[in-house]
Structure 1
Amino acid sequence: MSSKPAGSLGDFLRSRRTRLDPASFGFAGRRRTPGLRREEVAQRANISPTWYTWLEQGRGGAPSPEVLERISGALMLTDTEREHLFMLGLGRPPEIRLKPVDGVHPRLQRLLDSLNASPAIIKTATWDVVAWNPAAAVVLTDYGALPPGGRNILKFLFRNPAVRASQHDWESVARFVVGAFRADVARAGLVSEAAALVEELCSASPEFEALWRDNDVLGHSDAHAVKRLQHPVLGSVELEYSAFSVDGRPDLGMIVYTPVDAGMAARIRALAADKP
């Protein structure tokens, strides 16, 4: 009887190995058991067959992240399976693997659109808006009227006088956004990639530069529970703020603003219904 606990790293590796078709990878020959052999996985992962065997047997200590990445590729793991592999092998998820963002899955867009009275957006780790619903276009910004490179929240806040004037407490909002942006880019490993944006904002806004030099790091739980805006059509708007992760996309986040007042929700719904 095996001494390994159920759900161990070895069990998971073996289950993923045995589901693969050897012929698909150019491995021939008769087999007594389904799937790839251990030495074939090791060959594909460019690691020692002995080391891979030890991993399946629960021996040899914790593998490195680099080894797990190679094994993940060798076994053709999905993103969810890759994360599970790292949790079993190292007790933590892998580093975020960013993907080019060109819109979002239609299922996620339908979710946004179903929130017909609540402005909702999807943003990247560098705070570029990549999806939104009609309510967001009405209350926040008509993102569809802007080029993809012009939909950055920090640029709106620090370089657009109309957006700044609409904020009830611009200073507090600006401090939170800069602190949360700093945390997001660091978490995503995008500090160097965000350098050009930071430099542009520092050059364009002394206020951004001062906040950036403060080195505050904030999370979405540190945001004010209610966001207040002065809208040119709706007047004073109060919105409750909620942030959510996007399943399977750690580089994306969803923000939903829910109207506090039912009457305001009805007015937003009516205006959003006229948006294409």
Structure 2
Amino acid sequence: MEHSNNTRLEELAQFLKTRRARLSPEQVGLPHGGRRRTPGLRRGEVAQLSGVSVDWYTWLEQARNIQVSAQVLDNIARALQLDSSERKHLFLLALQQLPADLTPVETTISPTLQLFLDLQGTSPAYVTDQRLNIVAWNRAANLIYGDYRAMSMRERNSVWRTFTSPYVREMLQDNWETHARHRLAHFRANYGKFAGDPWWMELIGDLNQISAEFRAWWPQHDVLNGPEGKKINHHPAAGLLIFDQLSFHVTDSPHLTVTINVPTLDSDTTLKLNKLLSE
């Protein structure tokens, strides 16, 4: 274990040295400061830009086993102008965990991804962000789960809708509690990356006010990631619909999750959806 830890710290030290070497003082807004024996920034300059002491930063590049916070790592990442992949690598080497994803909230997706959703036909498909907002959908999803086009962003949040929408309760019937607990556990898992963020705190506060089930279950700290498996819906026009659920992340937008509900082979769900889509 000690050898593994030493190897990780040495890798961190070398990574920092290489990132420092590729930057000039001018690139970070510092004066050149005369002739330099080696290319790139000096350790003292990185320390200055990061708001830490020269000794402390030097210890990092010497692979010493010192305590480091996420805030300081973010400062170093900005000072060294790391991209998102380099920033994640820095956090993995220093803390052995990924940083919170600072990707801005997006309300639109690429035309290619929208085309993919549309091509799913009788399989309701939609895209959620890290807040579990539904940001895109196909026609089948719109017909089964409600008119997303007419909803506000708050109403398109799947956690908010699960706990506040009579339509969702009626559609899920006896399966509502299982669905709601799973959705809440997924929300809790994502919240761990953004604990204290104002948007999350506001939604949690509002749900505490409006939903007795949320008030009872949120303090239980259940955490879960992944799909829900089989889904049974009771649509007011199409009747009983049974799906198998498939979820995956988008490679070039890993903060987005695509969910596809595929009609089960041993049901008449596909026939019912074809009829609904043709009307």
Give yes or no for contact 2:189–2:225 (8 Å, CA) kept in 1: no
> Could you tell me which amino acid in structure 2 is paired with residue 71 of structure 1?
I
CA deviation map 1:20-74 (0-9, x unaligned):
2432233324445433232222221122233323322323534333322211110
Deviations 1:147-182 (A, max 9, x none): 223212233333332332222522322333334333
Equivalence for 2:51: 46
- Cα distance change of structure 1 residues 112 and 200 upon mapping to structure 2, 3 Å threshold: same
- Partner-residue secondary structure (3-state), 1:173: helix
Matched letter for residue 101 of structure 1: E
Query: Could you say which residue in structure 2 is the equivalent of 1:17?
Result: 20
| Amino acid in structure 1 at the alignment position of 2:248 | F
* Counterpart-to-counterpart distance in 2, 1:158 and 1:54: 50
1:104–1:59 distance in 2 versus 1, CA, 3 Å? same
Q: Are 1:172 and 2:190 matched, yes or no?
A: no
Alpha-carbon spacing, 1:136–1:43, altered in 2? closer, same or farther (3 Å) = same
Q: Does 1:57 align with 2:58?
A: no
Residue among 244, 248, 251 paired with 2:248 = 244
Query: Does the CA contact (< 8 Å) of 1:135 and 1:269 recur in 2?
Result: no
2:232 is matched by which residue type in structure 1?
Answer: R
Residues 111 and 188 (structure 1 numbering): CA distance in 2 closer, same or farther, change over 3 Å?
Answer: farther
C-alpha distance in structure 1 between counterparts of 2:246 and 2:86, whole Å? 29
Q: What is the rounded CA distance, in whole Å, between the counterparts of 2:275 and 2:7 in structure 1?
A: 57
- For 2:141, the aligned partner's letter is A
Deviates most, 128-137 or 244-253: 244-253
Deviation at 1:113, TM superposition (A): 4.1
| Sequence identity percentage | 35
- Secondary structure in structure 2 of the residue aligned to 1:101: coil
Task: Say if 2:93 is the partner of 1:88.
Answer: yes
Q: Does 1:156 align with 2:155?
A: no
Equivalent-residue separation in structure 2 for 1:15 and 1:57 (angstroms)? 13
CA contact (8 A) 2:154 2:160 kept: no
Tell me whether 1:229 sits opposite 2:233 in the alignment.
Answer: yes
What do residues 96-144 of structure 1 show as CA deviations (whole Å, max 9, x unaligned)? 4363333345555455445444323233444322222333223323212
**SS at 1:182's partner residue?**
helix
Structure-1 separation of matches of 2:213 and 2:57: 54
In 2 relative to 1, CA 14–265 (structure 1 residues): closer, same or farther, beyond 3 Å?
farther
Please report how far the alpha carbon of residue 238 of structure 1 lies from its aligned counterpart in structure 2 after TM superposition.
1.2
Q: Which runs of 5+ in 2 are unaligned?
A: 1-5
User: How far apart in 1 are the matches of 2:260 and 2:54?
Assistant: 50
Kindly state the Cα deviation for residue 77 of structure 1 after the two structures are TM-superposed: 0.9
**CA RMSD of superposed structures (Å):** 3.5
TM-score by length of 2: 0.77
Higher mean alpha-carbon deviation, 196-205 vs 75-84, is at 196-205
Q: Equivalent residue for 2:3? A: none
- Deviations 1:216-237 (CA, angstroms, capped at 9, x unpaired): 614145x642001122444322
